[in-house]
């Protein structure tokens, strides 16, 4: 089993972290049973990222057929919104944006979207192979079948991804009650996250 780089030594730092939103698009709505819950949790995560100045990259898979990013998600602050046909998000324009923002690559990518067992998983593979830490936001990930998502989470944990919740990510980035954004963030997370019916990890 491969461990995440410096897994026992590092915390999320906004200036070294990149949010990556994968293919949360309109045409998926009828096919994803937990879509409303995913949207609710992702809205909170995106809002927190904006407050904490974490850059965001977004992709859309074949938007001519699958539609644009769902209207409920405000991605106007994204550094780029890239259409793609490859399943992984790691395509040329994404690589260029990463290089421009981080003078190479981020320390950590916080990855979320769908489908977990296809585009999210293949993105995580590419990032790990490029020695980028990956935090996978489990309650902001979905597949048409929950079992596909849950099996993908297990595989990704095994290769060294950190499997976290949206609130775990948010408070890790916040770090302290003394942060200037503490009141704004605590107001944002006042409502409990939507339940994504995630299976318990296998022992």
Catalytic (active-site) positions: 23, 84, 119
Beta bridge partners of 110: 19, 135
Cα–Cα dist 147/18, whole Å: 28
DSSP secondary structure code for residue 98 in this structure: H
Q: Which residues are within 8 A (CB) of 76 and not within 5 positions of it... i.e. 6 or more apart?
A: none
User: Are the CB atoms for 138 and 165 separated by under 8 Å?
Assistant: yes
Measured CA distances, 17 to 13, 66, 100, 194, 197 (Å)? 6, 28, 14, 24, 27
Strands 133-142 and 162-164: parallel
């Amino acid at each position: 089993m491969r461990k995440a780089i410096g897994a026992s030594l590092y915390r999320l730092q906004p200036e070294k972290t990149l949010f990556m939103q994968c293919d949360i698009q309109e045409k998926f709505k009828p096919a994803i049973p937990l879509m409303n819950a995913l949207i609710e949790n992702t809205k909170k995560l995106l809002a927190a990222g904006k407050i904490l100045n974490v850059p965001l990259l977004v992709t859309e898979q074949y938007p001519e057929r699958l539609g644009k990013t769902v209207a409920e998600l405000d991605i106007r602050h994204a550094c780029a919104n890239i259409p793609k046909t490859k399943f992984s998000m790691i395509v040329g324009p994404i690589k260029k944006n990463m290089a421009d923002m981080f003078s190479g690559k981020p320390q950590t990518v916080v990855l979320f979207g769908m489908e977990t067992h296809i585009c999210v998983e293949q993105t995580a593979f590419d990032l790990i192979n490029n020695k980028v830490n990956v935090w996978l936001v489990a309650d902001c990930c979905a597949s048409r079948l929950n079992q596909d998502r849950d099996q993908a989470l297990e595989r990704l944990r095994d290769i060294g991804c950190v499997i976290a919740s949206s609130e775990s990510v948010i408070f890790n980035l916040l770090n302290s009650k003394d942060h200037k954004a503490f009141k704004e963030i605590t107001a944002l997370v006042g409502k409990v996250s939507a339940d994504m019916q995630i299976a318990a990890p296998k022992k």
